Amino acid sequence: SRTVARGEDGVATVGGVKVTELAERFGTPAYVMDEADFRARCRAWREAFGRDADVFYAGKAFLSRAIVRWLTEEGLNLDVCSEGELATALAAGMPADRIALHGNNKSAREIERAVEAGVGRIVLDSFQEIARVAGIAERLGRRQRVQIRVTVGVEAHTHEFIATAHEDQKFGIALAEGQAAEAVRRAIKLDSLELIGIHSHIGSQIFDTSGFEVAAHRVVGLLKDVRDEHGVELPEIDLGGGLGIAYTSDDDPREPAEIAAALREIVTRECAAAGLAVPRISVEPGRAIVGPTAFTLYEVGTVKPLRGLRTYVSVDGGMSDNIRTALYDAEYSVGLVSRASTAEPMLTRVVGKHCESGDIVVKDAFLPADVAPGDLIAVPATGAYCRSMASNYNHALRPPVLAVHEGQARVIVRRETEEDLLRLDIG
């Protein structure tokens, strides 16, 4: 996170608070989020996209009431993909018309709640869903604003599990073989739906803008076909999320301003060529906003040197608070943050306390050779898809999320307790 600094004693400070103080007051492991940094990223996205575009923060990356309030204040919209996320958004006061509902298999109840709340848009993901949402809206006497999610057939250069626009996966309606055109044909006929645009999300942790350019090109192509067939110009396109962040120094992320300029340029060019007015653009960054804004603070429990291999450093969390290394082979870095050390760097593997050897937090990490039990270490860039994908594996208690701001720390999501676990287990 941007505001991490180190004092002479080597203790890292974030948002004006020492990590040693955080560990003492709130315990470890803990996710530590820098509120000013989060807000600055929101602002950077808003400013980059300007008034004629909308930025929907992707709540799946991490959502809590505090986050919703910060987003609301910073002028962002919110993408939710479940009833639970919708409930959190509404409970924290996000105006419903700034919420988009996503998902490839929304339940009837999710759709009902969203329509009843008056969400700004529902992104339709299948032919069945076009009919389902139309039926529910009709029954509730509403006209629901919708977009159709299309699969543009782009191979995004990212991990297979998080690429979403190639053909053989579950999301969206294919542009190929006129399927998306048929979806538009159906949606346009239904009085309880107001088709406002086309949606495309090509994947996640993407560094180069060429995938977005191809997507924009193909989506605008569909808008043109729609105009030619129906005489309507759909007013909006959404190009999804997916902008990558730096987990290690090898990663080279794009700035929001660069992304915004590239998208605007390509959409403008394509629309000019097609004789279309430029639609309102929206994007859905999750990771790029919240990822870099938090780190995980762990305490070292054991240090086990394996001669000729590496040293295993075990921390008090693991795959229950960060599944990304096990699931995607994700790369992270780590630093000793509770003291200074002049010891030589040593090759380590930072592992958790769970009952399997795949329980790895950082696969290859250099830490000072004198790293020892009781030291605090921090893994940066864990704001996205760590707390939101956390589990109770081995009945781990999911860690709290702390927000630091101007020298103050507070809990925004508290640590789970044994009572929380036992409350669900009714014997």
242 is in an annotated binding site: yes
328 is in an annotated binding site: yes
SS3 293: helix
356 is in an annotated binding site: yes
Please identify, using beta-carbon distances, which residue of 337 and 384 lies nearer to ligand LLP.
384
Please identify, using beta-carbon distances, which residue of 240 and 318 lies nearer to ligand LLP.
240
Closest approach of ligand LLP to the CB of residue 408, in Å: 28
Residue 279 burial (CB count, 10 A): 22
The helix, strand and coil proportions of the chain, stated in percent and rounded to the nearest 5, come to: 35, 25, 40
HSE-up (13 A, CA, CB side) for residue 126: 11
Closest approach of ligand LLP to the CB of residue 302, in Å: 27
Please identify, using beta-carbon distances, which residue of 19 and 379 lies nearer to ligand LLP.
379
Residues near ligand LLP (CB under 6 A) are 58, 60-61, 79, 102, 162, 201, 204-205, 240-243, 284-288, 324, 328, 384-385, 389
286 is in an annotated binding site: yes
Please identify, using beta-carbon distances, which residue of 192 and 200 lies nearer to ligand LLP.
200
Compute the distance between CA of residue 378 and CA of residue 309 in angstroms, rounded to an integer: 23
31 is in an annotated binding site: no
Compute the distance between CA of residue 90 and CA of residue 417 in angstroms, rounded to an integer: 26
Closest approach of ligand LLP to the CB of residue 200, in Å: 9
Paired sense of beta strands 408-413 and 335-336, if any? unpaired
- Which residues are designated catalytic? 355
Closest approach of ligand LLP to the CB of residue 387, in Å: 11
**DSSP code string of 174-186:** ESGGGHHHHHHHH
Closest approach of ligand LLP to the CB of residue 20, in Å: 29
Compute the distance between CA of residue 234 and CA of residue 183 in angstroms, rounded to an integer: 14
> Burial of 59 by CB count in 10 Å (0-12 exposed, 13-18 middle, 19+ buried)?
buried
With CA atoms as reference, report the closest residue to 29 among 398, 419, 375, 358. 398
Please identify, using beta-carbon distances, which residue of 29 and 368 lies nearer to ligand LLP.
29
**Are the C-beta atoms of 45 and 52 separated by less than 8 Å?**
no
Paired sense of beta strands 236-238 and 193-199, if any? parallel
Residue 372 burial (CB count, 10 A): 13
Closest approach of ligand LLP to the CB of residue 129, in Å: 14
Please identify, using beta-carbon distances, which residue of 78 and 351 lies nearer to ligand LLP.
78
287 is in an annotated binding site: yes
> Burial of 40 by CB count in 10 Å (0-12 exposed, 13-18 middle, 19+ buried)?
middle
Beta bridge mates, 238: 199, 282
177 is in an annotated binding site: no
Annotated binding site: 242, 284-287, 324, 328, 356, 385
Annotated binding site for substrate: 287, 324, 328, 356, 385
Annotated binding site for pyridoxal 5'-phosphate: 242, 284-287, 385
